[in-house]
């Protein structure tokens, strides 16, 4: 498991093949070839994210595309497009953007527009 500390700022592309937790700031691209990406409460990603599973407790500004699940905790703030077969929004999570679950088996519709700021309830 890789942990990026709260005082660390990375600008550029990150590629990981193991679980990664971000407590600091990442600006660029995050490509999780394997493992889970966790954006901690103090973490910020101004990045497009690709992988299998993403857990957000902090902030992401950018698109998220995963093959399994995205989970936004009560402290999460996300702006961008989320493409995932499974999405969990806990009460208190803030999301502004588009949700695309069209890859899910049996789904008959394309992306759904979420206007303004949606609070999970």
pLDDT reported for residue 78: 97
pLDDT reported for residue 112: 52
Kindly provide the residue ranges of all beta strands, DSSP E only, lying in 1-121, ordered along the sequence: 2-4, 9-16, 20-22, 25-32, 36-39, 44-56, 59-61, 64-72, 77-83, 87-89, 94-100, 112-119
pLDDT reported for residue 5: 94
Q: Would you write out the chain's pLDDT as a tens digit for each of its 121 residues?
A: 889 999 999 999 999 999 999 999 999 999 999 999 999 999 999 999 999 999 999 999 999 999 999 999 999 999 999 999 999 999 999 999 999 998 654 334 445 555 445 555 4
């Amino acid at each position: 498991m890789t942990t990026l500390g709260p005082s660390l700022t990375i600008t550029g592309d990150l590629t990981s093949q193991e679980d990664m937790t971000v407590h600091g700031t990442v600006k660029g691209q995050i490509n999780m070839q394997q493992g889970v990406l966790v954006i901690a409460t103090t973490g910020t990603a101004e990045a497009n994210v690709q992988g299998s599973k993403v857990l957000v407790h902090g902030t992401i500004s950018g698109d998220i595309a995963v093959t399994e699940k995205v989970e936004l905790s009560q402290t999460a703030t996300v702006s961008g497009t989320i493409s995932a077969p499974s999405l969990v929004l806990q009460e208190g999570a803030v999301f502004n953007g588009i949700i695309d679950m069209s890859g899910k088996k049996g789904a008959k519709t394309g992306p759904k527009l979420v206007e303004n700021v949606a609070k999970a309830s």
